[in-house]
Amino acid sequence: MVVTYLYYLECSNVGGWVTISTKVRRELVERAKRHGVNISEVLRRALEEEVARREEEEARRSARRIARELRMPEEEVARLIREDRSR
């Protein structure tokens, strides 16, 4: 059997909360509760990590594209970006 587990995800940019629902097998939810797992926190953290991973990959692709267009090594582009961020 599949249950729908509702949890809240903090949206720091908006300053509020949104409700997101997902279907999870009842047995998994029961096991998580039995082990004291904070399901909302685990799901929130997993989503944050996945978004951060994808944003990092997008930045890497952009750096590669910039490096190609400027005909400069990717490492140099990365150094320039880090330098600019530190200002």
For residues 58 and 86, which has the higher predicted lDDT (pLDDT)?
58
Which letter does DSSP use for residue 13 in this model? T
Scanning the structure block, which residue is given the tokens 């990959």?
57
Higher pLDDT, 41 or 4: 41
With bands split at pLDDT 50, 70 and 90, how would you rate the model's confidence at 15?
low
In the predicted structure, residue 10 carries a pLDDT above the cut 50: no
Assess whether pLDDT exceeds 80 at residue 44: yes
Domain tally, the chain = 1
| Angle at alpha carbon of residue 25, lines to 21 and 29, rounded to 5° | 80
Domain of residue 67, residue span: 2-85
Give the model's pLDDT for residue 47.
Answer: 92
Query: So what's the pLDDT on residue 55?
Result: 92
Specify the pTM: 0.68
